[in-house]
Amino acid sequence: MKLIALQIKTTPNFQENLDELKSLINSCEKDSIILAPELALSEFSYDRMEEASTFSIKAIEEIKALSEDKIIALTFITKNEDQFFNTLYIFHNLQIIHTQSKAKLFPLGNELEYFSAGNEQDIKIIEINGLKIATLICFELRFPQLWEKIKGADIILNPAMWGVKRKDHYESISKALALVNQCFVIACNSANDNMAKSSAIISPFGNVIKDDLKTKIEANFDKDEIKKVRTYINIGLDK
């Protein structure tokens, strides 16, 4: 199994972004776990929220159709009862396996003005094919209480649009997340010019595979690595 972060740029053209993402997903190996950056199809698009949420309905169906033999995760601008949310979808076996909306909105941007916060209760470990998977969306990385909610996961996903000024923060926190939880982390950040990039696959022992020049960051997943680290340095996590 491959763990894959798609470090892509987002253009103002939603359809072009979707076409590019679908092409990249199709190029990934079967049984891969694939993560795209936060709002990879639309960015935040505060002046086009209605358009973006409508486009998400179409995009969700098209991405779902590619998930027969892959696990695919990304966030979309969604609308519910006149409120907009930044919502993660995880697809597998042509189904929507899990959704959660971003609960911790970034106060230094305009997220609090345009988005409603999701429910922290939706941040949890889910199980797919015997793998324990959890997600923190971008800014949520900074909250220790959310780390507690996903303790024991085998793989933690982090789709992000993390700014270049805080590049070192993103790299340091992502690695710490893997080390503290003794798990794999897929950190997937936008490749836009003002973003930090720094997408990476990080092992339970803290080995980092990253390349800011690549669109596809990938590494092999071996569940035995989790067991070895949790046995070698036993901090009470399930092996």
Exposed, middle or buried, 55 (CB in 10 Å: 0-12/13-18/19+)? buried
| Terminal Cα distance for the chain, rounded | 19
Residue 224 reports pLDDT greater than 90: yes
Number of H helices, E strands in the chain: 6, 12
Residue 139 reports pLDDT greater than 80: yes
161: amino acid identity, one letter? M
Residue 62's pLDDT band (boundaries 50, 70, 90)? very high
Q: How many CA atoms lie within 13 A of 56 on its CB side?
A: 25
Residue 239 reports pLDDT greater than 80: no
Q: Is 110 left (phi over 0), alpha (psi -120 to 50) or beta?
A: alpha
User: Please, which residues have CB within 8 angstroms of residue 72's CB and are 6 or more apart in sequence?
Assistant: 25, 34, 36, 63, 66, 90, 91, 92
The model scores a pTM over 0.85: yes
* 95 vs 209: CA distance, rounded Å: 30
Question: Average pLDDT of 23-49?
Answer: 97
pLDDT of residue 238: 84
* 35 vs 55: CA distance, rounded Å: 19
Digit-coded pLDDT (tens) for 186-222: 999 999 999 999 999 999 999 999 999 999 999 999 9
Axis-axis angle for helices 14-27, 49-64 (nearest 10): 20
Q: What angle do CA 192, 198, 201 make, to 5 degrees?
A: 125
